[in-house]
Amino acid sequence: MLARVWSASIVGIDAVKVGVEVDVSGGLPGIVVLGLPDSAIQESRERVKATLKNTGFAFPMRKIVINLTPADLRKEGPCFDLPISVGILAASEQVSADLLGDYLFLGEVSLDGSLRPVAGVLPIAAAAQKMGIAGLVLPTDNAQEAVVVEGLAVYGYKHLSEVVDFLNNPGRYKPVQLDSTVEIAKASYLGADLHDVKGQAHGRRALEIAAAGGHNLIFVGPPGSGKTMLARRLPGILPPLTFAESLEVTRIHSVAGLLKNRGSLVRDRPFRSPHHSASGPSLVGGGSFPRPGEISLSHRGVLFLNDITIPSLITNKKTVVAAAMSAALFLVSMPVLAQSGPITAKIISVGDGDTVTAQFGSKKATIRLACIDAAEMKQAPWGERSRDRLKQLLPVGKPAKFSIKEKDRYGRFVAEIFVENRNINLVMVQEGQAVVYRQYLKNCPTSQNSLLSAEADAKSKKLGFWNQTKPVMPWDFRRQNSKPKPNSSPKPVSQSSNCDPSYPDLCIPVGAPDIDCGEIEYRNFRVVGNDPHGFDRDGDGIGCER
């Protein structure tokens, strides 16, 4: 005999109607599940078999074929335990099949027949109401979550035997009513109040502007200055969620499995604070079966990114997550609150007096010390002395903190480096091992005065590099010794060609799209005129210096 029971599956934050077709026929006893089931559904064969026996029902010792439709949609999770159990009972004529076409069944079954809550009930209930389903049959612990959907009868039960009695005697039972006294489920908002903050006028004002306009906000400052304290108080000054917004937030948290045994709607605005080492999939969502990440979980709330290096502000209202088995669409609408701070990495090597290589997790990166310039290695003996001193300050394997400022045209990160609260950039200048690179001093707003003062002191004491009669600045040395290599430089360009006159040593067409040094093979060529591509960043007349 054939029986069909309706259930549903989650795709992203939306629900898709799934038919559970059960056929009990002659043949060798066994259960076959079709329709792209995952491991949890495959395991339901033994789980349902034991459950039916333990609850007093006869398990048919015949060939049972279970087909989940549509066949091309992957199904996952234990929520199909209940519809499979009901389908087997209906196909073996142990329960009435009259109501199976009007109701949608969800729930995980235990071996003793009790029903356990499942995730994603709210979006399934909303979809069932739009599909014209008369009612929803599910575990009692999920009932209050589903009953917020108007126009849908919700029946919550604790045991499989109660579901069977409902199907055989539907007149005995009434739908669950919304309990206004149930405790509202809460997200991870800590309830911190901005009223507790004394002072911090600029930070408070920034929070108020961000809350009023839904703007992104970044706090920059040394540890202990109150960045995190202020950030955690932003949800407290945001307006309360409307009913429609609360439904959206609850749908997402329901899909993520954060509402089990927690009541109905989320009323507080979410505050999500992922760890600074969180992976990309954990932020945007992902997995073989895509699930919401921290970005979507902060929908209509606040996403706080602590200790980021370069802020990436979210501007899209939706994010699409593609995975190995499917793709899903998640909602994104929230201000992004970020705190920028140093990140820790291990020193791998020292190149010269102002360049090191460091290990950031699984990746290596070249770091140029910000706002200073050390003597070139050819400026004997000063270049070697600067490199040796930097090796002493930053020995291989030494953990250091890097305050990233920008990325230069060679793809190197520019940063201030700290070891045990010592600013290594400043130490190099104090000891006369490096000079202040005034052209880029804007990258070090908090230490620029200290750098200038340290340089003046080292110069007056003739320390290191300054202990010579006529010191040649590193940038002047590079300009004087930078000549195009014959093998790497093109021949002089004809005046009649359509080449930009700013670059007499090579031909770049006038009006060409903007390019950088990484996109051309030439180095140390002359730059005259307005330099439309910005090859000569330090203004010494030499482009793309090595």
Catalytic residues: 368, 376, 412
Question: Which are the contacts of 345, defined by CB distance < 8 A and separation ≥ 6?
Answer: 358, 359, 360, 365, 399, 400, 402
Nearest Cα neighbor of 525 from 536, 514, 533, 516 is 536
Question: Which are the contacts of 227, defined by CB distance < 8 A and separation ≥ 6?
Answer: 203, 219, 220, 221, 339, 341
Helix (H, G, I), strand (E, B) or coil at 144: helix
Distance of CA 430 to the CA centre of its chain: 41
What is the 8-class DSSP label of residue 75?
B
Nearest Cα neighbor of 202 from 221, 223, 179 is 221
* CA gap 2, 436 in Å, rounded: 83
Q: What is the dihedral of CA 6, 329, 215, 254, to 10 degrees?
A: 30
Question: Which are the contacts of 290, defined by CB distance < 8 A and separation ≥ 6?
Answer: 12, 321, 322, 323, 326, 327, 328, 330
Beta bridge partners of 7: 18
Q: End-to-end CA distance of the chain, in Å?
A: 79
Beta bridge partners of 112: none
Write down the residue that tokens 């990746």 correspond to: 363
Question: Which are the contacts of 346, defined by CB distance < 8 A and separation ≥ 6?
Answer: 358, 359, 397, 398, 399, 400
Helix (H, G, I), strand (E, B) or coil at 61: coil
Beta bridge partners of 2: 23
Helix (H, G, I), strand (E, B) or coil at 71: coil
Contact at 8 Å (CB) between 413 and 407? yes
What is the 8-class DSSP label of residue 58?
P
Distance of CA 3 to the CA centre of its chain: 44
Contact at 8 Å (CB) between 179 and 144? yes
Beta bridge partners of 343: 402
* CA gap 140, 182 in Å, rounded: 13
Contact at 8 Å (CB) between 21 and 66? yes
User: Which residues in 184-291 belong to E strands, given as ranges?
Assistant: 217-220, 271-272
Nearest Cα neighbor of 443 from 451, 435, 434 is 451
Q: Is the dihedral of CA 205, 210, 211, 216 positive or negative?
A: negative
Helix (H, G, I), strand (E, B) or coil at 253: helix
